[in-house]
Structure 1
Amino acid sequence: MSGIQCCENPPALSSISGTGHVEEIGGLKCYVSGPSESNLGVLLASDVYGYEAPNLRKIADKAAAAGFYAVVPDLIHGDPYNPNNAERPLPVWIKDHGTDKGFEDAKLVTEAMRSKGIVSVGAAGFCWGAKVVTELAKSAYIEAAVLLHPSFVTLEDIHAVKAPIAILGAEIDKLSPPELVKQFDEALQAKSDVDAFVKIFPGVSHGWTVRYKEDNEAAIKCADEAHKDLLNWFAKHVVNE
């Protein structure tokens, strides 16, 4: 795994960012935003920097503004990756935070969301979280999935996906390069029973949707476009039956 690209532009983490609040759902701390009376839910699975990343919470707030009950669970249990800790490089951190454990935790959160009255759940995953969401999409846990600059996702995973899935890739990405994303697209086009949308954003790097810099207008514009694609996908598939 290319630790350098995966961890570019680390966010300034803050537990008080966003317009929502933190509560426990499914045994995990979660940032929650949106109308509690909504029966349409969205789960956002973070990258290695975790659920306190301000830009990630802004995406949850956007989903909330679109009418979804948005939940960002702390799938890494208060232990975000710290690029300044030379004694714990990314491969070591990953061993402590496998996506398999993230998947098990995410299942608990989706189940808890449904127990609150949510009838349809979409899940979006960023980098590390994209693998978690892919596992959800291989089962009946969610109604729709969005992967944004995914890490660890394989062609075999894509072949096994059952839920409608959108994949938003970056032109400059060593973790899921355009060649691999195009293979994902070809595999999904061959699955007539799964609705799919695949898009590669030109001129952007891995992590661009959540780790853009606030003073970079071009980066913000590209991130906003991806966020709109995410919300459009959920508007299409996360619906009342």
Structure 2
Amino acid sequence: MVAVAVVDATEPGNVGTIARSMKNFGLSDLLLVDPPELDPEGEAYGFAGQAREDVLPEARELSFDELVSGYHTVGTTAVTNEDATKHVRYPFLRPADLAEELAGIAADTAVVFGRERVGLTNDELARMDQVCSIPASAEYPVLNLGQAATVVLYELRDSTVEETQHPDERHERADQQSVEGLHEQFGAFLEDIGHPEEKRAKATRLWRRFVGRAHPTGREARTLRGIFRQAGQRIDRAENGDED
């Protein structure tokens, strides 16, 4: 299931436009983080078209922490101008690749859009599992919020308008709680091995993006957590002089 999340939008009309695009392309679950007031007589409902009947009034408000912990997140951003030496906005998907990347993943996923002026902050993007960037002209690469959402959601249409895969063919991705537990275990592992504290944030981002692309199964997540846990225990025993 794919949800759409909008973080800290200031213009109700943009929220309505996104709801309308969702309706166009077969999505219905709208998540709002710090939204503006959505007056049923105002711009949001005026711009929403038929989405004013279901998508918009059924939108759910939640915190950013709840969004990250409850969903596999794909943060959207403008052209990144980053490469493999930088890791806040890299590696990134193109919208045309997003549907294939998410196809068959049996997990709650949220495609996340940011503010009108600045989009998602680097700190917010660092907490995303994956990043999607819209290619545009270098002379003017910035799209407005409604345009960006329409482009990305259009590319998802083949996987959202009609479900065609048999359930047995789906990749049973680990639930988000298990994935977040894996991230926490990795953080503990970095601490156990004495990884330089000033490098841990970068290493954590790299790990999150790696796992985000891999879509581990529940068994894979449990196995990796067990390996990190055993490594940490062995390090503790060695430091205490108890190692065989």
TM-score, length-normalised on structure 1? Answer: 0.27
Larger Rg: 2
- Structure with the bigger RCO (C-alpha within 8 Å, sep 6+) is 2
Q: Compare the two structures and name the one with the higher strand fraction.
A: 1
TM-score, length-normalised on structure 2? Answer: 0.27
Q: Compare the two structures and name the one with the higher helix fraction.
A: 2
